[in-house]
């Protein structure tokens, strides 16, 4: 069965038609990964680091092509796609350093003549399953670390961005990766997915996606597989009365509406202290009213279409629900003129007077939708955030170091931003949520990636 990816700005434009991977093909991919992995693990760190560097160079050299592909297949603007390509190359540059950081520990002798030390070994074959919203940088964060420390990998991109996934694998393999070390699984064939998850050769899976898919994946993995999941977030920006409101409004608008709001770290709601709520609402309304949606190739648009027809339909249902619940539409952007009428266009919206139990406040929006809620204090905002089952990222805007320190200490999220956007993260720090936003112990990225992609062996060596 073929999968077809289309241009969300003009759905009649077919970007790619790619055959779905069958269970028989998966078996060959896994066999090749197992065969290639042991030799790769035994190569020197300098060799693995050199390949990571070559991959980074290959991404940089293909930047124009990759940017155009992301804009066409996923819907980002040229500026957004350019940042993603740069970030993807940075992931492999950083991973070149990880190759040298796989180290053990020497322990004091507890018995005369017996030394105890630890070794770290790659897991073997790992799976990387990624969504469509970052078709290069999310796979890069997973694959770069996994490969750098000596694993083989099987990569499963979203069918929505099948062409980008295919291009990334070709760039990686062309950079000197041993044959078979990185396998590509395309499509969403249920039999293939079940075979992949249940295969005991798959030692770990790193997954980014929705809560529902993550739950099904966790239930289908064989019992000895390690799992790392980055799931949904219902992210809040908190604005204290002493905040720089102009800066806060700018950061919040960028975090809520950049990339059409289709990032797991996008701001879904603003919790603002009551004394400045009207002023902040006015500033945010002005910014939202200026936003223009159109094809990502146009330099004058704020963001592009949502990525899929399903996304558009889901968001339209949210808007209908908001009208029915009496939510107040505070501001709305516009769709550019002369766009393809079949494109997946969703104008950005800002809501107020939202009932506390409405889905605008209790579900991940994953679209260009923002709600504003007045609160009596930052402490009340923290209680609201902590009462939610998720805990990916929260931001606070304040001029008080004391308030910022307390917020960072008390809020139950894996990522905290002070006077910044909920979106955006570096290459070196770890990335991951708490509670329902993750699977628990293993964040992604940074030096901590070694913990997930390796296992520890303790050696006792007795000598005369």
Query: For 38-90, what is each residue's pLDDT tens digit?
Result: 999 999 999 999 999 999 999 999 999 999 999 999 999 999 999 999 999 99
Q: How many domains does the chain have?
A: 2
Domain assignment present for residue 424? The answer is no
Cβ atoms of 220 and 198 closer than 8 Å: yes
Cβ atoms of 204 and 172 closer than 8 Å: no
Residues 183, 223 share a domain = yes
Domain assignment present for residue 428? The answer is no
Indicate the angle between helix axes 45-61 and 162-174, nearest 10 degrees: 130
306-312 average pLDDT score = 97
436-462 average pLDDT score = 92
CATH number of the CATH domain containing 244: 3.40.309.10
Q: Which helix (H) or strand (E) holds 85?
A: helix 78-98
Domain assignment present for residue 126? The answer is yes
Residues 93, 153 share a domain = yes
Per-residue DSSP letters for 159-180? Answer: GGGHHHHHHHHHHHHHTTPPTT
- 296 closest CA partner among 341, 255, 336: 336
With a CB cutoff of 8 Å and minimum separation 6, the contacts of 128 are 139, 142, 143, 146, 153, 154, 155, 156, 205, 206, 207
Residues 160, 13 share a domain = yes
- The catalytic residue among 74, 264, 364, 444 is 264
* DSSP tag of 38: H
Cβ atoms of 152 and 125 closer than 8 Å: yes
Decide if 215 is catalytic: no
- 171 closest CA partner among 160, 25, 163: 163
Tens digits of per-residue pLDDT, 374-428? Answer: 999 999 999 999 999 899 999 999 999 999 999 999 999 999 999 999 999 999 9
Tens digits of per-residue pLDDT, 259-279? Answer: 999 999 999 999 999 999 999
Higher-scoring residue by pLDDT: 457, 188:
457
Residues 307, 187 share a domain = no
Residue 455, beta-bridge partner list? 121
Domain assignment present for residue 269? The answer is yes
Domain assignment present for residue 90? The answer is yes
Residues 226, 239 share a domain = no
Burial of residue 146, with CB atoms counted within 10 A of its CB: 0-12 exposed, 13-18 middle, 19 or more buried: buried
The domain of 36 spans: 2-231+439-462
- 149 closest CA partner among 192, 75, 206, 87: 206
Q: Does the pLDDT value for residue 464 go beyond 90?
A: no
Q: How confident is the model at residue 441 (pLDDT cuts 50, 70, 90)?
A: confident
Tens digits of per-residue pLDDT, 96-105? Answer: 999 999 999 9
Domain assignment present for residue 112? The answer is yes
First to last CA, the chain: 64
* DSSP tag of 380: H
Domain assignment present for residue 434? The answer is no
Decide if 264 is catalytic: yes
- The C-alpha angle with vertex 138 and arms to 136 and 144, in degrees rounded to 5, equals 85
Look at residue 328 and give its three-state secondary structure: strand
Residues 186, 40 share a domain = yes
Residues 225, 260 share a domain = no
pLDDT of residue 399: 98
pLDDT of residue 463: 81
pLDDT of residue 219: 86
pLDDT of residue 223: 86
Q: How confident is the model at residue 138 (pLDDT cuts 50, 70, 90)?
A: very high
- The C-alpha angle with vertex 25 and arms to 23 and 30, in degrees rounded to 5, equals 90
pLDDT of residue 321: 97
Residues 83, 28 share a domain = yes
**Alpha-carbon span 270 to 239, nearest angstrom:** 7
Indicate the angle between helix axes 277-289 and 245-257, nearest 10 degrees: 50
129-133 average pLDDT score = 97
- The C-alpha angle with vertex 118 and arms to 113 and 122, in degrees rounded to 5, equals 150
Residues 346, 222 share a domain = no
With a CB cutoff of 8 Å and minimum separation 6, the contacts of 57 are 89, 175
Q: Which two tokens mark 34?
A: 């197992």
Q: Which helix (H) or strand (E) holds 395?
A: strand 393-397
CATH number of the CATH domain containing 41: 3.40.605.10
108-134 average pLDDT score = 95
pLDDT of residue 302: 97
Residues 164, 50 share a domain = yes
pLDDT of residue 408: 98
Mean pLDDT across the chain, nearest whole number?
Answer: 96
Residue 460, beta-bridge partner list? 116
Domain assignment present for residue 209? The answer is yes
Residue 456, beta-bridge partner list? 120
In whole angstroms, how far apart are CA 331 and each of 30, 248, 251, 295, 348? 52, 17, 17, 22, 8
Residues 443, 411 share a domain = no
- The catalytic residue among 84, 90, 230, 364 is 230
Backbone angles phi, psi at 372, to 5 degrees: -120, 135
pLDDT of residue 1: 63
Tens digits of per-residue pLDDT, 213-260? Answer: 888 888 888 888 999 999 989 999 999 999 999 999 999 999 999 999
Residues 292, 341 share a domain = yes
């Amino acid at each position: 069965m073929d999968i077809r990816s289309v241009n969300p700005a003009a759905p009649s434009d077919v970007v790619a038609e790619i055959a779905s991977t069958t269970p028989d093909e998966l078996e060959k991919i896994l066999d090749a990964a197992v065969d290639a992995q042991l030799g790769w693990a035994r190569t020197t760190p300098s060799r693995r680091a050199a390949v990571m560097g070559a991959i980074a160079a290959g991404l940089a050299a293909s930047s124009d092509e990759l940017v155009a592909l992301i804009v066409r297949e996923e819907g980002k603007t040229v500026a957004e796609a350019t940042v993603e390509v740069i970030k993807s190359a940075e992931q492999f540059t950083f991973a070149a350093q990880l190759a040298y950081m796989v180290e053990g520990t020497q322990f004091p002798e507890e018995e005369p003549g017996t030394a105890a030390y630890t070794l770290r070994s790659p897991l073997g074959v790992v799976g990387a399953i990624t969504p469509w919203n970052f078709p290069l940088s999310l796979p890069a964060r997973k694959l770069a670390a996994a490969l750098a420390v000596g694993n083989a990998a099987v990569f499963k991109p979203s069918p929505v961005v099948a062409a980008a996934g295919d291009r990334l694998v070709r760039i990686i393999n062309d950079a000197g990766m041993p044959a078979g070390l990185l396998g590509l699984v395309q499509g969403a064939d249920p039999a293939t997915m079940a075979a992949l998850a249940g295969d005991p050769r798959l030692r770990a899976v790193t997954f980014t996606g929705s809560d529902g898919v993550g739950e099904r994946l966790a239930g289908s993995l064989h019992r000895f597989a390690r799992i790392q999941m980055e799931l949904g977030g219902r992210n809040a920006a908190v604005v204290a009365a002493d905040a720089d409101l102009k800066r806060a409004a700018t950061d919040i608008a960028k975090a809520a509406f950049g990339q059409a709001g289709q990032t797991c770290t996008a701001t879904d709601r603003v919790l603002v202290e009551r004394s400045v709520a009207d002023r902040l609402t006015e500033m945010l309304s002005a910014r939202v009213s200026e936003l223009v949606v159109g094809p990502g190739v146009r330099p004058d648009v704020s963001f592009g279409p949502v990525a899929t027809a399903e996304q558009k339909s889901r968001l339209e249902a949210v808007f209908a629900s908001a009208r029915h619940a009496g939510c107040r539409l505070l501001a709305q952007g516009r769709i550019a003129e002369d766009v393809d009428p079949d494109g997946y266009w969703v104008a950005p919206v800002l809501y107020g007077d939202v009932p506390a139990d409405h889905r605008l406040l209790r579900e991940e929006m994953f679209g260009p939708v923002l709600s504003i809620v007045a609160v009596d204090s930052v402490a009340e905002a923290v209680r609201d955030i902590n009462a939610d089952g998720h805990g990916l990222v929260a931001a606070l805007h304040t001029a008080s170091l004391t308030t910022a320190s307390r917020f960072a200490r008390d809020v139950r999220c894996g990522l905290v931003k002070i006077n910044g956007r909920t979106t955006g993260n570096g290459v070196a720090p770890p990335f991951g949520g708490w509670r329902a936003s993750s699977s628990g112990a293993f964040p992604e990225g940074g030096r901590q990636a070694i913990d997930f992609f390796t296992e520890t062996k303790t050696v006792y060596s007795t000598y005369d």
